[in-house]
Amino acid sequence: MLWDFNSIKLIFSFATLGRQSKAVGPIVNLITSLKNKQKTRFGAGIRHQLPDELAALGCSHALLLSTPQQSDTAMDLAAGLNGHVAGIYSRATMHTPVDVTEDAVCHARDVGADCLVSVGGGSTTGLGKAIALRTDLPQIVIPTTYAGSEATPILGQTEGGVKTTLTDAKVLPEVILYDPELVVSLPSAMTVTSGLNAIAHAAEALYAKDRTEPTSQLAIEGMKAFAQSLPILVNTPDDLPAREASLQGAYACGAVLGSVGMALHHKLCHTLGGSFDLPHAETHAIVLSHAVHFNAQAVPDLLTPVSKIFDGDAPGLALWDFAKSLGAPMALRDLGVAESDLDRATEIALSKPYWNPREITAPGIRALLQNAWSGDAPGT
């Protein structure tokens, strides 16, 4: 066995089976304390259990959702549903535009859908959540990236160019099927950036104001899963045990994102993504080490697990080295941000106050962004 994921596997199998045993008592307590009531199943080929999951929800007319790029995957899944298909809607797109959601809601009603099956990354999951918010339809999610949206009651939506975020139990999917076979096709670059996106949820959970011992433990397990699986996946994308480990990491990181408040890193990525139309996972991948380095000055002890897991002397530098070793994008300028945009980005980042473990000042954020823009190591 290459990985020490016993604890995390037990968490998930027990979340699935819903029974107790002496050996995994503390882990069951951990997941129970997160009040996670989702049914979660892992395994190569687990997508073929979709008909059973549909029946268990009492549903027989599934509307399958995907991006245009993953419509073939949605069609394959539909073919295995023995006719219990209301339709396929393959117009999911980044940032969950409300006009697409409204069109999809009309479509769901027209075809008489009684549940949603979202296959894809955070964009497709976001569309499913947005439809569920408006229709109360149950959701089954088959994630194919590590964004972790499937494990949160959070929904971001865009209207008139403005992205707003809400939290509502109605949008939390009922069932998640994590099938590593469907993640093999995730391009190497996106495997890395999406993994770093997930690690960002966990890193910020470590210093969240409302963190608990179980959320911190789960965050640590999620980061370990990625520290061990991503270097393997960069070279061997079809390594199914490593893909499954990374999906376990995605679930742990998503679950903590849904359980505690985020701070500087997520706010900065939201600001930059929204204001400069930057790609989600790449932005997270670049900003992460810089935000962690910034906050480590205030809460070094809380971030010690990051240094240990990613094998460095300081948490921000350890993450920067890890990202670089995986060939991640390292500089905002490579995403098309101009150096002259950094003052405006700083202003926007400071315009709406939010809690952060370290005081957020204009010079501090400007310096952070300068390093993230140029791709220099944090704090240099």
Side chain identity, residue 235: N
State how far the Cα of 364 lies from the Cα of 356, in Å rounded to an integer: 13
Give the interface segment with ligand NAD, choosing from 76-84, 108-116, 148-156, 331-339 (CB under 6 A). Answer: 148-156
Give the interface segment with ligand NAD, choosing from 13-21, 140-148, 233-241, 315-323 (CB under 6 A). Answer: 140-148
Query: Who's near 207: CB < 8 A, 6+ residues apart?
Result: 263, 295, 299, 302, 303, 357
Beta carbons of 64 and 117 less than 8 angstroms apart: yes
- Tell me the H-state helices in 280-328: 280-296, 304-309, 315-325
**Cα 297 to the center of its chain, rounded Å:** 26
181: which DSSP letter? G
Positions 171 through 200 that interact with ligand NAD (CB under 6 A)? 182-183, 185-186, 190, 194
Q: How far is the CB of 194 from ligand NAD (least distance, A)?
A: 5
Q: Please identify which residue in 97, 128, 138, 156 interacts with ligand NAD, judged by CB under 6 A.
A: 156
Q: What is the 3-state secondary structure (H, E, C) of 73-96?
A: HHHHHHHCCCCCEEEEECCCCCCC
Positions 224 through 253 that interact with ligand NAD (CB under 6 A)? none
Binding mask 249-288 for ligand NAD (x = CB under 6 A): --------x----------------------xx-------
Q: Which is nearer to ligand NAD, 281 or 309 (CB)?
A: 281
Q: Please identify which residue in 31, 54, 117, 126 interacts with ligand NAD, judged by CB under 6 A.
A: 126
Positions 19 through 78 that interact with ligand NAD (CB under 6 A)? 67, 69-70
| Position 335 contacts ligand NAD (CB under 6 A) | no
| Position 118 contacts ligand NAD (CB under 6 A) | no
Lookup result for tokens 């670089």 = 324
Query: Who's near 380: CB < 8 A, 6+ residues apart?
Result: 371
Q: How far is the CB of 186 from ligand NAD (least distance, A)?
A: 4
Q: Which is nearer to ligand NAD, 72 or 343 (CB)?
A: 72
State how far the Cα of 103 lies from the Cα of 100, in Å rounded to an integer: 5
| Position 144 contacts ligand NAD (CB under 6 A) | yes
State how far the Cα of 36 lies from the Cα of 195, in Å rounded to an integer: 22
Q: How far is the CB of 280 from ligand NAD (least distance, A)?
A: 4
| Position 122 contacts ligand NAD (CB under 6 A) | yes
State how far the Cα of 119 lies from the Cα of 64, in Å rounded to an integer: 7
What residues line the site for ligand NAD (CB under 6 A)?
A: 67, 69-70, 94-95, 120-124, 126, 144-145, 147-149, 152, 154-156, 182-183, 185-186, 190, 194, 257, 280-281
